Amino acid sequence: MISDVINAKDLPKLDPVFGQLSFDDHEQIVFCNDKDTGLKAIIGIHNTVLGPALGGTRMWQYNNEWEALNDALRLSRGMTFKSAITGLNLGGGKAVIIGDAKTQKTPELMRKFGEFVHSLSGKYITAEDVGMTTDDMDTVREVTPYVTGISESKGGAGNPSPITAYGVFMGMKAAAKFKFGSDVLEDKNIHVQGIGHVGEALVEHLVNEGAKVTISDISQERLETVRSKYNVTIYGGNDVYSEEMDIYAPCALGATINDATINKIKAKIIAGAANNQLAEDKHGKMLQDRGIVYAPDFLINAGGIINVYAELENYGRQEIIRKTENIYNTTIEILERAKANGVTTNTAALNMAKERIEARKKENS
């Protein structure tokens, strides 16, 4: 898993909480501290109009508390829109634990964190994110039912990555239908950047469909493994952005569409799993101006949240697949709306998510 934490030096000095750059009318922010276990955590609850705020817990060695707070704020906001656009009755939340997951994470610390989650009586439901494992969620489950992503043997829905990859595949096919008039990916040149849990599963779908796949990763070992398993080509150049290709699938870091890359990109479609692919909103507009179809990340990478939602709603595999396949229809709708309204695809997706929240607010009032 990868983090795309905002660097502290980029954060202007603002009021401590409500004045933060990433503050967006969040409903509640909870600071958790426990001296005995060393736990220092922040739970961001952005919006609970559609349902309890669900989002993973990230454990990361932040340079300072500002970075941690901004990460919690930004990530929890993102979850609100991801669930809203996917049609789930969930709000947006996210937690961060400050510390090194490799050296500072203990079962005691995780249980204490679980007690804080429990104290919110279900307003926030946690799950796995960077620095967390299914085992950690099982530990949290010992002290609270407000946790998802627990192991299958304990009644959980298991690893979300294959479902996330399937949703990305659906979103990519929809973007192809919109751009090329056909959603068949056979013979399309597709580059998958980052072949971790999601990237590898995506490669498998693409290869099965007959696409011409190239892969890149910072891990040589991963490259060799995926090449030998799927007979795909390892990218041999040194600037993947300038390469001619039909589809670019970012499945590693966020913010790869930025000032340095935007004018080089030759792909006709961008569709991948990474969170926060656009460094800034203006990059969405620049893609639109150049006729590059961008399938919004928070729309097409929602398979993971669909998978954990199944644990709460007790729906099975079939419904998980049905909801994930629906990403295809929603992507088409968003791309058409963006075109009709002359807005970026990201804005169209955000607007659709906000409309659903506003409609529910009216129903509830």
Is 101 near ligand NAD (CB under 6 A)?
no
CA 283 to chain centre: 18
Listed in sequence order, the residues at least 6 apart from 138 whose beta carbon sits closer than 8 Å to its beta carbon are 150, 151, 154
Site size toward ligand NAD (CB under 6 A) is 26
Single out the residue of 3, 91, 5, 82 nearest to residue 45, CA to CA.
91
Is 252 near ligand NAD (CB under 6 A)?
yes
Query: Cβ 365 to ligand NAD, closest distance in Å?
Result: 32
State which of residues 57, 161, 288, 331 lies at the interface with ligand NAD (CB under 6 A): 161
- Contact track, ligand NAD, 166-205, x by CB under 6 A: ---------------------------xxxxxxx------
Residue 94 appears among annotated catalytic residues: yes
Please state whether beta strands 212-216 and 91-98 pair in parallel, antiparallel, or not at all (unpaired). unpaired
Q: Is 196 known to sit in a ligand binding site?
A: yes
CA 82 to chain centre: 8
- Judge contact between 92 and 46, C-beta under 8 A: yes
Is 273 near ligand NAD (CB under 6 A)?
yes
82, 94, 268, 323: which one is catalytic? Answer: 94
Is 251 near ligand NAD (CB under 6 A)?
yes
Is 133 near ligand NAD (CB under 6 A)?
no
Is 158 near ligand NAD (CB under 6 A)?
no
Is 164 near ligand NAD (CB under 6 A)?
yes
Calpha distance 322→313 (Å, rounded): 14
Scored b (16 or more CB within 10 A) or e, 168-180 reads bbbbbbbbbbbbb
Q: Is 198 known to sit in a ligand binding site?
A: yes
Residue span binding ligand NAD (CB under 6 A) among the ranges 96-104, 184-192, 268-276, 284-292: 268-276
Beta strands in 237-348 (DSSP E): 247-250, 269-270, 293-294
Residue span binding ligand NAD (CB under 6 A) among the ranges 39-47, 58-66, 172-180, 247-255: 247-255
Single out the residue of 120, 149, 141, 147 nearest to residue 48, CA to CA.
120
Q: Is 147 known to sit in a ligand binding site?
A: no
Of residues 317 and 361, the one with the C-beta less far from ligand NAD: 317
State which of residues 160, 171, 284, 296 lies at the interface with ligand NAD (CB under 6 A): 160
Q: Is 316 known to sit in a ligand binding site?
A: no
State which of residues 111, 118, 222, 339 lies at the interface with ligand NAD (CB under 6 A): 222
Beta strands in the chain (DSSP E): 28-34, 39-47, 53-54, 57-60, 91-98, 124-125, 189-193, 212-216, 233-234, 247-250, 269-270, 293-294
Query: Residue 333 class from Cβ within 10 Å (0-12 exposed, 13-18 middle, 19+ buried)?
Result: middle
Is 216 near ligand NAD (CB under 6 A)?
yes
Residues that are catalytic: 94
Q: Where along the sequence are the contacts to ligand NAD (CB under 6 A)?
A: 1-2, 160-161, 164, 193-199, 216-219, 222, 251-254, 273-275, 301, 304
